[in-house]
Copies of this chain bind each other. A is one copy, B any other.
Amino acid sequence: MSATKELKVRCWIDIDGKKFFGPGRAQLLILIEKNGSLSKAAKEMGMSYRKAWAMVEDMNQRGQQPYVELHKGGTQGGGAELTETGKKVLATFQKMNDTITKTVQEHTDEMLGLI
């Protein structure tokens, strides 16, 4: 059996030396967009509602503008949606990640062949 070799890459943004936005938060925004609900997004990520809510709060407070709008109550038990800023941040992060992933893939054969 030969070993499984993987070339990995991770990109994220720090604000004042503290993690602010990366793949996990991008995924949370994707699932909020998809579900229109923070509790459903949290569930799909296998994360507690409390933790997902804290992530949204942190983005909304430390970002230049809020990324997620939370609606209370209603027949659907409240909902969540991305703001224009949230959509732009997510799209730009995804575009950048795609470019980086392609760059890494171009080096994969050479790199893993040597390792």
Contacts and interface: CB of A to CB of B under 8 A. Distances in A.
Interface stretch (A10-18, A29-37, A68-76): A10-18
B7 A13 contact: yes
A114 B94 CA distance: 13
A103 B99 contact: yes
A8 B11 contact: yes
A5 interface: yes
State the main secondary structure of chain A at its contact with B. Answer: mixed
A49 interface: no
Nearest to A95: B107
B6 A13 contact: yes
Nearest to A107: B96
A3 B21 contact: no
Contacts of A14: 4-6, 8
A114 B12 CA distance: 14
A8 B92 CA distance: 15
Contact of A100 (B62, B103, B110): B103
5 contacts: A3-B16, A4-B14, A8-B14, A10-B10, A64-B115
